Amino acid sequence: MKRLLITTLIIGVAVAIGVGALHATKTIAGFEAVAARLVSDTAGATRIVSEKWQYVFILLIALGVAWFSLSKVPRWRSRLLLGLFLVELFGLSWVCSLYRIFFQPIPSVLALVFALAIAEGWSAFLRRDRAHLVRTFFADRLSKKEFRGLSDGTTPFDAEPKAYDVSVVVCDLGNKLAFAEDSEPAAFAEATSKFIRETAAQLTKEGAYLHAADGEGVVAFFGFPIPSTEHAQKAVRVVLDLMKTFRESRERNEKISRNWNICGGISSGVIIAGALKDSERPLLLASGEPIELARRFCALNHFYGSGALIDTPTFDQVSETVVARPIDFVSGLNSHDRLEIYEPLWLAAEATPEHIARRDSFWSAVVLYREKRWAEAYNEFQKARGSEEEEDPPLQFYLRRLQPLVLQLTESPFESI
């Protein structure tokens, strides 16, 4: 708003000075005489609008037209209204002549035309500059639909740094280092590039902004640059779809090792994003705690054996649409912070009653484990088991922790009080 006001004042004052000078020096006297003969009866006029009021009209019209043209009113509508106003200026002169008042419309008309032309030129320059920034920042990083909306201006975007509420998704290959050691470099590079290409394409297709895609994984933002109130739901749904697609591909293709999988980390919160001004070429800055946390959660999947991990803010937003279970508490970026992480399992619409029952048993077991009620926790984890063919690494992670504790309880006699 401040920038619009300053631009309006500059254009309006400049146009008023220019038109006022043309009128005062009689440069446009010929045009004024023609207009006077066409729309007004100067000979019969008993009163004339003074020069002072002419200059006031010129300034007000220039400021109003500049403001209206630079605002976010659709161009066709603004041009239509200004065209009607142009006609009304001549109509006003004719109506005044009926009351024997002479009003010269040409200075006001020129103020309107010049202010409109300059404002339109300035807007075109800004659109060209904006289009260049959009191409630099978002080409091949957004879906074609969203990129088109930013390019043509139908979707607003301010390059100034500001806060965005987003969900950050980080996807990478599980057991990547082991795969790299056991494979030829060319085979590893081909498989990794295929994963990066397909994952990035799926994320952008679903409305994410592709922040990075390299050997360290794929990083995408939901909720930027186009804000969305459902960014967490989209992020978790897309990650679950990616994991499902990868499992199906692995089952169809015998060449893909069963130890090779996809893992994801999701963190929701506020990031700061915007253009860097003091750089040789336009650069988009994006920084915030959710980016670092999502990377950590993605890496922690290797420790717990989970497929994806989300933080509490994400869980709070998706708890009604996604079936998830608690995994553990981990330290945050600040060593004093304790963050609870969850594993999303299924979409609520696709979960069966058996899935819900197993999730509830796992949840109860984790609570009992945290209360150091080892035997009860062990029994609840047993209830959370699926079929023998179905693998559940996080469940096995807790059972391995509990087995020596339960064994110790069974071997130690209870002391009577």
User: What's the CA gap between 157 and 224, in Å, rounded?
Assistant: 10
- pLDDT tens figures, 15-25: 889 988 888 88
- pLDDT tens figures, 137-173: 888 899 999 988 887 777 878 888 899 999 999 999 8
Element at 165 (helix H, strand E): strand 162-174
User: What's the CA gap between 41 and 50, in Å, rounded?
Assistant: 17
Average pLDDT over residues 315-338: 90
Average pLDDT over residues 110-135: 76
DSSP class of residue 413? P
User: What's the CA gap between 185 and 266, in Å, rounded?
Assistant: 30
Q: Which pLDDT belongs to residue 295?
A: 95
pLDDT at 417 over 50: no
Residue in the block written with tokens 């708003």? 1
Q: Which pLDDT belongs to residue 416?
A: 38
User: What's the CA gap between 120 and 107, in Å, rounded?
Assistant: 20
User: What's the CA gap between 215 and 172, in Å, rounded?
Assistant: 9
Q: Which pLDDT belongs to residue 322?
A: 96
Strands 261-276 and 162-174: antiparallel
Q: Give 266-306 as a DSSP string.
A: EEEEEEEEEEESSSSS-EEEEE-HHHHHHHHHHHHHHHHT-
User: What's the CA gap between 102 and 394, in Å, rounded?
Assistant: 89
Share of the chain above pLDDT 90, in %: 41
Token readout for 333 is 């970026």
Token readout for 66 is 């500049």
Q: How confident is the model at residue 415 (pLDDT cuts 50, 70, 90)?
A: very low
For the entire predicted model, the pTM comes to 0.71
CATH of 158-351, one of 3.30.470.20, 3.30.70.1230, 2.60.120.560, 3.40.50.720: 3.30.70.1230
**Domain chopping of the chain, boundaries:** 2-137, 158-351, 355-412
User: What's the CA gap between 201 and 245, in Å, rounded?
Assistant: 13
Number of neighbouring beta carbons within 10 Å of residue 211: 20
Token readout for 42 is 């100067």
User: What's the CA gap between 366 and 170, in Å, rounded?
Assistant: 26
DSSP class of residue 221? E
